[in-house]
Amino acid sequence: MRFLILLAVLFFSLFLFEERHIDFQDTYTKAICSGKTCRDFLVSCSNNELIYLKPISGFVTFGENWIDLREDRVLC
């Protein structure tokens, strides 16, 4: 009987964990640039889809010699 109760608790725990995993959100900041002008944004993604993008800073313009060396331009 104890085994069945333990098995039921384990089953429901795994089920609840899976539900949380599906709704997982990733939130971070990222500078988005256009030419020599950049702005920081708060980015939220869920299941590799953009769900929220909010500017959190003003614009910054870099000098003529500035080169954006970032290779990863994907938001999610």
Position 12 scores a pLDDT of: 55
| CA 37, 38, 39, 42 torsion-angle sign | positive
Residue 10 covered by a domain = no
State how many domains the chain has.
1
Residue 35 covered by a domain = yes
Any idea what the Cα angle at residue 26 is, between residues 22 and 32, rounded to 5°? 140
Rounded CA separation 74/51 (Å): 14
Residue 58 covered by a domain = yes
Residue 69 covered by a domain = no
Its pTM stands at 0.64
Residue 51 covered by a domain = yes
Residue 33: domain span: 25-62
Tens digits of per-residue pLDDT, 9-42? 555 555 555 544 455 689 999 999 999 999 999 9
Residues β-bridged to residue 41: 30, 55
Phi, psi of 51 (to 5 degrees): -120, -15
Residue 40 covered by a domain = yes
